[in-house]
């Protein structure tokens, strides 16, 4: 397996809207990120992934781009961006931007031209179809609910939008669109950007039949009908050949619908497409028949198996990404562990998991201090378009969103979008103004300032674990094997190469567990209880990493 910087990197994801507000308009911004670069560097971060900062009407918080070469006014100017990039590079870190090119905003000049007339030169930049029997071209339902087709009176046709009506899908069949994307990517590489996270890149090639929906379960429809279309690999290989391969950069494709079976087609080292993907096997594993807002309990066995299966599949052939949350999902500690009395131990345990699996780890802002989910009592406090659409659908059904808030508490995207908790002061130190979304009231207990002072804090544990990973390349490249895989509370695995062998033992439960790994010569190196000993009587949410010495 070839060794490269992006395999050895630890990535920190910033959702700028909620990170740090420098001008007190209530929205985070680029100068706010600049203020916090020393903090990010102090964690031991190598790469920052910045969610979209381009010009946008913000129907989906920047995932609807109106100008790919300019910065959103609310976030600052291109000068601010240049200073940010400089500041990142000066600290020996790298910057990965978000590339959102499955769709643009309906306020992009291409779309404004496209919708004018059927013979406009930009018509084919998007996907237009005539209606069928007075209705939309087919019965597809989008990611945020409702038809994927919107009727446009000007030309009496429908356009495709897999997300909101303000996010029309680009037509990648059109070579001009592909050329535009190549030029956008080149523009940012020429500025010195170090890579891209590519939004829903698995969706760019549509199945030309636009056939009737093939099933009811949304995840199955995504995998088999919306994602992994017939030309997706050709398009990615072309992008790679024309631009990506000419720079020393990293790419990670966001891949709803990319299952184990497709993974290597995207990231196989012989494929010349992407370096990594974010698959969603663990993120969507608890989706019930009713879709996103019908969550089931997390199945711990399946959780472990997902990591094991992907490691097995990619080993020696491609590279993985390790993440447990981002701006689209609940807080990892609330979702996969516990935000009750053991929250602190549980956050450290998840950090241990992130830093000891094979693949590049991604930390989402706030997880390094153990931020948790939010539960707003008033539906009007929610801001995410997906949640708002869910409320609208309920209301259309004669239901009261208030009676269904439990689902939003469990799975809604705003859980991860409350402002970063810098201090116990006003608005958690995020802004002096009115924050665009309410701050989590628990900032009085969970905040950076407090954890900076406490040597045993979650924050300082992250610093240690990141350093631990860097000190031990075995944890980056070494082999992986799950131990006593069927254990109902413990996730244990070995990582080894010619130089070293490690055993990681994680107790995912509120109970004490007497674990016997049947391995001897164990030397305790990292742990989340200060008084930990070398035995394997694992206390609730206890995490231990041993070196195996014989």
Residues found near ligand ISL in the complex (CB under 6 A):
60, 63, 100, 143, 163, 199-200, 254, 256, 292, 327-328, 386, 413
Query: Least distance to ligand ISL from the beta carbon of 345, Å?
Result: 28
Q: What is the DSSP string of 237-291?
A: HHHHHHTGGGSS-EEEEE-TT--HHHHHHHH-TTT-S-SEEE--TTTSTTEETTE
CB 454 within 8 A of CB 33: no
Query: Least distance to ligand ISL from the beta carbon of 327, Å?
Result: 6
Closest CB to ligand ISL among 185 and 513? 185
Query: Least distance to ligand ISL from the beta carbon of 14, Å?
Result: 13
Closest CB to ligand ISL among 34 and 324? 324
Query: Residue 38 catalytic?
Result: no
Closest CB to ligand ISL among 363 and 536? 363
2 burial via Cβ count (<10 Å: 0-12, 13-18, 19+): exposed
6 token code pair:
């992006």
Query: Least distance to ligand ISL from the beta carbon of 46, Å?
Result: 22
**CA gap 82, 66 in Å, rounded:** 20
Query: Residue holding tokens 């680009």?
Result: 170
**CA gap 381, 386 in Å, rounded:** 14
Element (H, E) at 197: strand 195-198
Query: Residue holding tokens 């961006």?
Result: 81
Query: Least distance to ligand ISL from the beta carbon of 243, Å?
Result: 21
CA distances for 380 relative to 376, 437, 439, angstroms = 9, 10, 14
CB 4 within 8 A of CB 248: no
Instruction: Name the active-site residue from 150, 254, 311, 414.
Output: 254
**CA gap 476, 5 in Å, rounded:** 11
Instruction: Name the active-site residue from 80, 199, 311, 450.
Output: 199
Query: Residue 254 catalytic?
Result: yes
Query: Least distance to ligand ISL from the beta carbon of 65, Å?
Result: 9
Other residues' Cβ atoms within 10 Å of the Cβ of residue 401: 20
Closest CB to ligand ISL among 199 and 501? 199
DSSP state for residue 103 in the 8-state scheme = B
Query: Least distance to ligand ISL from the beta carbon of 257, Å?
Result: 9
**Residues β-bridged to residue 288:** 291
**Residues β-bridged to residue 126:** 170
Query: Least distance to ligand ISL from the beta carbon of 443, Å?
Result: 24
Query: Least distance to ligand ISL from the beta carbon of 532, Å?
Result: 37
Closest CB to ligand ISL among 293 and 468? 293
Closest CB to ligand ISL among 206 and 327? 327
Closest CB to ligand ISL among 362 and 422? 362
Closest CB to ligand ISL among 373 and 451? 373
Among 471, 513, 521, smallest CA distance to 490 is for 513
**CA gap 369, 446 in Å, rounded:** 7
Query: Least distance to ligand ISL from the beta carbon of 328, Å?
Result: 3
Closest CB to ligand ISL among 54 and 143? 143
**CA gap 378, 276 in Å, rounded:** 39
What 3-state DSSP class applies to 30? helix
Backbone angles phi, psi at 10, to 5 degrees: -115, 130
What 3-state DSSP class applies to 162? coil
Closest CB to ligand ISL among 15 and 128? 15
Q: What are all long-range contacts of 487-496, with beta carbons under 8 Å and residues at least 24 apart? A: 487/515, 488/300, 488/301, 489/300, 489/513, 490/515, 490/538, 491/300, 491/303, 491/304, 491/353, 492/517, 493/356, 493/357, 494/519, 494/548, 495/356, 495/358, 496/548
**CA gap 161, 173 in Å, rounded:** 16
446 token code pair:
């969970």
Catalytic residues: 199, 254
């Amino acid at each position: 397996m070839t060794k490269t910087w992006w395999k050895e990197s630890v990535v920190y994801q910033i959702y700028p809207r909620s990170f740090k507000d420098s001008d007190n308009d209530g929205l985070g911004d680029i100068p706010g990120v600049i203020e916090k670069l020393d903090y990010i560097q102090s964690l031991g971060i190598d790469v920052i992934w910045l969610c979209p900062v381009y010009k946008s009407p913000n129907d989906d918080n920047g995932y609807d781009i109106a100008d790919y070469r300019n910065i959103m006014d609310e976030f600052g100017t291109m000068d601010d961006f240049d200073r940010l990039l400089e500041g990142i590079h000066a600290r020996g870190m790298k910057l990965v931007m978000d590339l959102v090119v499955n769709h643009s905003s309906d306020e992009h000049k291409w779309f404004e031209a496209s919708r004018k007339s059927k013979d406009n030169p930009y018509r084919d930049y998007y996907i237009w179809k005539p209606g069928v029997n007075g209705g939309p071209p087919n019965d597809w339902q989008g990611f945020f609910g409702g038809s994927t087709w919107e009727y446009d009176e000007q030309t009496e046709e429908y356009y495709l939008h897999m997300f909101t009506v303000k996010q029309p899908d680009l037509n990648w069949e059109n070579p001009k669109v592909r050329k535009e994307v190549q030029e956008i990517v080149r523009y940012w590489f020429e500025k010195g950007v170090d890579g891209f996270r590519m939004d829903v890149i698995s969706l760019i090639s549509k199945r030309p039949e636009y056939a009737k929906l093939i099933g009811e379960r949304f995840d199955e429809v995504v995998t088999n009908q919306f994602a992994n279309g017939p030309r997706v690999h050709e398009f990615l290989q072309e992008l790679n050949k024309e631009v990506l391969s000419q720079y020393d950069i990293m790419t990670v494709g966001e891949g709803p619908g990319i299952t184990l079976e497709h993974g290597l087609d995207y990231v196989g080292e012989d494929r010349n497409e992407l370096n990594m993907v974010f698959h969603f096997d663990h993120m969507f594993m608890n989706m019930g028949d009713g879709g996103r807002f019908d969550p089931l309990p997390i199945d711990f066995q399946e959780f472990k198996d997902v990591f094991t299966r992907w490691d097995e599949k990619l080993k020696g052939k491609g590279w993985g990404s390790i993440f447990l949350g981002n701006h689209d999902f609940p807080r990892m500690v609330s979702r996969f562990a516990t935000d009750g009395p053991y929250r602190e131990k549980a956050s450290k345990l998840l950090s241990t998991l992130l830093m000891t699996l094979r693949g590049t780890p991604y930390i989402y802002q706030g997880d390094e201090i153990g931020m948790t989910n939010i539960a707003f009592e008033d539906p009007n406090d929610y801001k995410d378009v997906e949640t708002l659409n869910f409320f609208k659908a309920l209301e259309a059904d004669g239901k009261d969103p208030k009676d269904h808030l439990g689902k939003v508490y469990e799975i809604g995207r705003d859980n991860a979008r409350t402002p970063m908790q810098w201090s116990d002061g006003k608005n958690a130190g995020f802004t002096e103004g009115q924050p665009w979304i309410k701050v989590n009231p628990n900032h009085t207990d969970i905040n950076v300032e407090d954890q900076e002072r406490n040597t045993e804090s979650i924050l300082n544990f992250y610093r240690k674990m990141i350093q631990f990973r860097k000190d031990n390349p075995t944890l980056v490249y070494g082999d992986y094997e799950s131990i006593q895989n069927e254990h109902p509370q413990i996730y244990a695995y070995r990582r080894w190469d010619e130089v070293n062998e490690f055993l990681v033992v994680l107790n995912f439960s509120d109970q004490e567990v007497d674990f016997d790994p049947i391995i001897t010569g164990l030397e305790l190196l990292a742990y989340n209880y200060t008084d930990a000993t070398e035995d394997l009587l694992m206390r609730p949410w206890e995490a231990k990493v041993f070196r195996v010495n014989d």
